[in-house]
Amino acid sequence: MNENLSVLGVFSLLSILAVGGGAAVLPETKALVVGTHHWLTDDQFRDIYGLGQVVPGPNMLMVIVIGYHVTGFLGALMAFVGFFLPAGAISWAASRVWDHFEGSPWRRSLQQGLAPLVVGLMASGTISIARTAIDGRLTIIIAFAVFAGVYCVKKINPALLVLGGGLVGLALLSGTGAGMPPN
């Protein structure tokens, strides 16, 4: 089958499943891309997720790189369109419908009920990323330092903290083979 259409189909499915944002759909993304389709290895997936972290904007823009790895620039386009078009169209339509329920008491119930569900999904997304990214004392220290920086020091730019984490890894881990394929 045409690999470009496969990329489009997989990321369209992920787009519709991505309720609660990118962090919540990360495990499914990995299962399909690494497990089902063997488009990437575990290590490549972790690295490409890292690339998504160092660029601005939504870090799930990394789907572009996954598509690029499968079939080049056309694959990148397929992944982008697949991941953003279905969910974008649903959001656009639903927010308009939502406006028609202005004043309905159930609208407030929906907002109040979904708010903690979304917080729970964000927490789960954090846990799923931690399971791949936290693998030793140094990564724990980096995570806690960034957490403290973002949560306690209001004025700090998160970009600097993420890049700082990369520099610490570069300085302290580059001699250890961290993150390298086992062979």
Name which of residues 61 to 90 contact other proteins (CB under 8 A). Answer: 61-62, 64-65, 68-69, 76, 80, 84, 86-88, 90
Q: Are 33 and 100 in contact (CB under 8 A)?
A: no
58 binds other proteins (CB under 8 A): yes
Instruction: Report d(CA 91, CA 3) in Å as an integer.
Output: 28
Residue from 11, 45, 59, 78 in contact with other proteins (CB under 8 A): 59
Instruction: With CB under 8 A as the rule, give the number of residues binding other proteins.
Output: 113
3 binds other proteins (CB under 8 A): no
Give the nearest distance from C-beta 71 to other proteins in angstroms.
13
Distance between the two ends of the chain, CA-based, in angstroms?
32
| Residue 5 lies near other proteins (rule: CB under 8 A) | no
| Binding-site string for other proteins from residue 35 to residue 54, where x marks contact by CB under 8 A and - marks none | ---------x-xxxxxxxxx
Considering only residues 103 through 162, tell me which ones interact with other proteins, judged by CB under 8 A. 105-106, 108-130, 132-134, 138-140, 142-151, 154-159, 161-162
Q: Whole-number minimum distance, CB 29 to other proteins, in Å?
A: 11
110: phi then psi, degrees, rounded to nearest 5? -60, -45
34, 41 Cβ separation under 8 angstroms:
yes
Measure the CA–CA gap between 76 and 72, rounded to whole angstroms. Answer: 6
Structure tokens at 117: 């569900």
Using CB under 8 A, which of 15, 29, 33, 71 touches other proteins?
15
Q: How far apart, in whole angstroms, are the C-alpha atoms of residue 21 and residue 15?
A: 10
The DSSP call for residue 57 is S
